[in-house]
Amino acid sequence: MAFPTTRLRRLRRTDAMRSFVRETRLSPEGFVYPLFVCPGEGIRKEIRSMPGVYNLSVDEAVKEALEVKSLGIPSIILFGLPETKDEIATGAWADDGIVQKAARAIKREVPSLLLMGDVCLCEYMSHGHCGIVKKTGAPKGSETEYEILNDPSLEILAKTAVSQARAGMDIIAPSDMMDGRVAAIRKGLDASGFENIPVLSYAAKFASGFYGPFREAADSAPAFGDRRSYQMDSANLREAMREIQADLDEGADMIMVKPALAYLDVIAEARRRFDVPLAAYQVSGEYAMIKAAAQNNWIDHDRVMMETLTSIQRAGASIILTYFAKDVARLLA
C-alpha cells in the first residue's frame, strides 16, 4: 500500500528497531585473518602501507593465533617470507619452509584454529611470478619477452599443497591462477592420503591495482612484467564464471573472488549460480585506503570498515578474508 499507510521509516526510528530488522549481520565466525610469517625470533615488524599488520616470526605468529582464536575468529591464512628464493620456489614446498614451521607451531598451541594455506609461488620465486618462467626470444621489454609456463608449474603447486597438508593445514587455498591447478592439487593430496583436506580455490582472482601493499608485506612484487597473462582481466564477469565452474569441475570444495569491493557484482553472480561456500578477499589495498583516509580524519574508520564488510557479505560471501577481522571482532563484542 502507498503512503501514508506505508511508512518505511517506521522500522528505522531507533537503533534497537534498526538492529531488530537488519537483513545482513556480520559475525567473526565468517572471518579469516591473514598472517605474514618471516624467519627469526621475536620479530614483529609493522608493514608501512598496512598499519596494524605485521611481519611476524613464528613465535609471534603463535601469539597472534592465540589472540585471533580468543576473539572468536575461526581461521587464519598463512603467507610466508622465506630466507632465500630461487627459480623453482623451493621454500614453498620444503618440509622446513617458513609456512610449514609456522603451521606446526600454531597447531601445537591452538589446535582448534582452522589453518588455511595459501598455495602460490610468487613469494618464493626469485623473479616474483606465480610459476616457472621461460625467456621466449621476443624483443626485450615486450610483453611476451617472458612466458609463465603453466603445466610445469602444476607439479610444484601440488608439491606445495601436500607439504602444507603434512604440516597441519586444514584447508588448501591455491591462488596462482594456473590452468588445471585444482585438479593437480586434488590429485596430489589424494595420492598422499589427504583426501579429506578441502580446497578453497581463488577461482576468480583479478589482476588488480589493489594488491600493492600485499607485495610489500610478502616481498612478492614481480621483478619484470606483471601478472596479467594469468590473473583475470578486471572487465570480465562472464569469464569469471567460467573460471569458477572449471575449478569446481576439477574438485574445488569452496571458491573465492578476489579482490572484493570492486567486484561485488562478481560475488553476487557467483552466489546466484553456485551452491558452494563462497569467500571473498578484502585485499591489502582496500584495507590501506580505509586506514589512510581514517588517519587523515577524512572518514569514520569503524563505520566505513563495517559498511564495506557488510557490503561484501550482502553481495553473497559467507567467508571474508580481511585484515580488519580483529578490529571487527572487538567492535562486535
Q: Annotated catalytic sites, by residue?
A: 205, 258
User: How far apart are alpha carbons 37 and 24 in whole angstroms?
Assistant: 33
Nearest by Cα to 125 from 78, 160, 167, 171: 160
Nearest by Cα to 169 from 217, 109, 120, 106: 106
Within 8 A by CB and 6+ apart from 92, the residues are: 80, 82, 99, 119, 120, 121, 123, 124, 156, 160, 163
Residue type, 59: D
Contact assessment for residue 10 and residue 20, using Cβ atoms and an 8 Å cutoff? no
**262: burial class by Cβ within 10 Å (0-12, 13-18, 19+)?**
middle
